[in-house]
Amino acid sequence: RHPVRLVITPARPPEVYLATSMATVESDMLQVQSSRRWLAWLIAAAALAAVFIALWSSFDSMIAIWLNDSTFAHGFLIPLLSAYALWLKRAELSSAPIRPSAIAVIVLMMTAFVWLIGQIAGVQVLHQFAAAAMIGITVWSVLGNSIAFAALFPLGYLLFMVPFGDFMVPRLMEFTADFTVLALRLTGIPVYREGFFLTTSNGSFEVAEACSGARYLLASLILGTYFAWLEYDSWRRRLLFLLAAFVVPILANGIRAYLVVTVAHFSDMQYGTGPDHIIFGRVLFALFMLILFFIGVKFSDRDREQKARVEKRSSSVSSLPGLLAASILTVGIVISVASTAKSTASRSPVMVSALLPAAGPNWTKREDLELGYAPRFRGFDQALAAAYESDGTTVELHQIVYLGVRQDSELVNQQNRLFDPELWRLSTRSRGTLFVADGRAIGIEMTTLYRPGRRLRVHSYYFVGQRWTTSRILAKLFETYDLVLKRSTPNAFIAVATSLQPGQEIAADDVLKRFIVEHHDRLQLCLSGGNTSDVGCMPADVPARVQ
């Protein structure tokens, strides 16, 4: 017989069992919530992929510009920087509640309508901005307000993908020329300025588009915005740094231009006129940026010792059917709008081709074009040109005609230019007004172009739906308005050019204005294919370049 040992353990208090049970339940709930969060993010990712595919035409046009224009090559980095910013916000994103937003759906519908207008009207920058914005709005719509607020900067930063900023180039060129001339004169170097051409005693210089500093300014704003978000919590400090990021590259470019001219002047044009001035410009810009960021770090108000804390509590996640419904609704809105844009992307062009006006009183038609000038436009339906002579002065008329609005075929486009920059250089540009016979005022843009051995004076304007304007913005608005009302009229860019002798701008302007005034009514009617016997249009067999 073996002895039996009884071991009696003291009973645990009931609260211990309760705490253990609650911990087990909470752990199970966390696992369930974690699984639901992963499913929610997968649903959002699927919705984003569908939206991206539906709006591919906009993203494809962005990528094409990134590849072809080095000014906007930074576009490839924006998604990577945005993804890194999302990773930095992972603590907030992992604990924020997920619940679809009805307000975001309404905002998405409005943005999709803007995208549709941009697509139909061919306003590239409009539909590109709308497409970039809809990426963030899709996340907001499916995952809700808390997630969108936590990811506000990373999603908003995607707007920098849009190639934007060409409108700043003329003003930056003007500032660079003004700054350089002022600095040269203050340092005792005599300089003569004619538009964007500067002449010292030792050589001539041109402030070209590449010298505007637009590339440096865009790079500074893009990097400066990211830096301000990383380093500052105070909105005041962020805005002040962004102001510095805007001003510093403009001043740096002015200093660069001044130093290049100074070095070239004192070296008898041996230095500063070749690739060395490009390298110098990049080094100088990098130096200014390093100084700006170094000073910016000194004023940082971000606590670097503070670590992001991930909340251990379970955050609410909306029901999966609700998330699926929000995702399907979001994708459905985008796809329906994209389908509408595709079905209306090609509008039937006007059946009647445009004609050239016949020579008016005191003018005779010439057979040859001798100026070597033509506007550089893309996707046009007709490019008509003719030469006219009066009192020994020759004037050339160029009409770039669009008989309908189609994708990649619009009158107002950032790639359409008054002149071919490979053949001509811009000297001066201004605006004026002339009055036709019935007292109507017509705005014109007056430009002086230059190339070795020849100068031209050019007056130009847009003709959109029986309206005349020099504003690209107004021309695009007129074009969009006619599209909405389904009006089918030819639109055109008109340029009238003549040779220019030094100091004869006023005389050249008088000739060009007289030509426009005397041919205005004919020009307007002939653009709509007017009857040749009634309105004095050129016969239809006049040679015309049709694309």
**What are the structure tokens assigned to 454, written together?**
């020849």
Three-state secondary structure readout of 44-65: HHHHHHHHHHHCHHHHHHHHHH
Contact of 171 with 95, CB cutoff 8 Å: no
At position 7, the amino acid (one-letter code) is V
Q: Is the pLDDT of residue 244 over 90?
A: yes
Q: Is the pLDDT of residue 174 over 70?
A: yes
What average pLDDT score do residues 525-539 get? 68
Q: Is the pLDDT of residue 148 over 80?
A: yes
Give the pLDDT confidence score for residue 85 in this predicted structure. Answer: 94
Return the closest-CA partner of residue 209 out of 71, 375, 63, 64.
71
C-alpha torsion 94→96→97→99, nearest 10: -100
**pLDDT higher for 278 or 7?**
278
Q: How far apart are CA 447 and CA 501, in angstroms?
A: 14
Contact of 462 with 492, CB cutoff 8 Å: yes
Per-residue confidence band for 107, with pLDDT thresholds at 50, 70 and 90? very high
Give the pLDDT confidence score for residue 46 in this predicted structure. Answer: 93
Computed over every residue of the chain, the mean pLDDT equals 82
Q: Which residues contact 332 (CB under 8 A, 6 or more apart)?
A: none
> 3-class DSSP state for residue 3?
coil
Q: How far apart are CA 40 and CA 320, in angstroms?
A: 7
Contact of 398 with 494, CB cutoff 8 Å: yes
Q: How far apart are CA 543 and CA 524, in angstroms?
A: 19
Q: How far apart are CA 195 and CA 173, in angstroms?
A: 10
Q: Which residues contact 298 (CB under 8 A, 6 or more apart)?
A: none
What average pLDDT score do residues 371-399 get? 89
* Rg of the chain taking only CA atoms, in angstroms: 32
Give the pLDDT confidence score for residue 68 in this predicted structure. Answer: 85
**pLDDT higher for 314 or 172?**
172
Per-residue confidence band for 486, with pLDDT thresholds at 50, 70 and 90? low
**pLDDT higher for 117 or 349?**
117
Least confident span in 18-27, 256-265, 451-460: 18-27
Q: How far apart are CA 311 and CA 307, in angstroms?
A: 12
Largest distance between two CA atoms of the chain? 142
Q: What percent of the chain stands above pLDDT 90?
A: 29
Place of tokens 């389908």: 339
**pLDDT tens-place string over residues 293-326:** 999 998 888 765 554 444 444 466 667 777 888 8
Question: Model pTM?
Answer: 0.75
Q: How far apart are CA 41 and CA 39, in angstroms?
A: 5
Q: How far apart are CA 173 and CA 301, in angstroms?
A: 36
Q: How far apart are CA 77 and CA 292, in angstroms?
A: 21
- Cα atoms in the 13 Å half-sphere on the side-chain side of 353: 17
Contact of 519 with 526, CB cutoff 8 Å: no
- Residue 144: other Cβ atoms inside 10 A: 25
**What are the structure tokens assigned to 122, written together?**
């061919």
Give the pLDDT confidence score for residue 110 in this predicted structure. Answer: 94
Q: How far apart are CA 161 and CA 506, in angstroms?
A: 44
Give the pLDDT confidence score for residue 308 in this predicted structure. Answer: 45
> 3-class DSSP state for residue 250?
helix
Give the pLDDT confidence score for residue 491 in this predicted structure. Answer: 86
Q: How far apart are CA 173 and CA 265, in angstroms?
A: 20
Give the pLDDT confidence score for residue 238 in this predicted structure. Answer: 92
Place of tokens 């070095």: 263
What average pLDDT score do residues 463-485 get? 79
Cα→Cα distances 319→17, 96, 102, 322, 325, Å: 32, 15, 15, 5, 10
Q: How far apart are CA 63 and CA 161, in angstroms?
A: 9
**pLDDT tens-place string over residues 40-75:** 889 899 999 999 999 998 999 899 889 988 888 888
Least confident span in 302-316, 361-375, 418-432: 302-316
What average pLDDT score do residues 146-167 get? 91
Give the pLDDT confidence score for residue 327 in this predicted structure. Answer: 86
Q: Which residues contact 118 (CB under 8 A, 6 or more apart)?
A: 124, 125, 126, 127, 128, 129, 130
Least confident span in 140-144, 238-242, 425-429: 425-429
Please state the length of the chain. 547
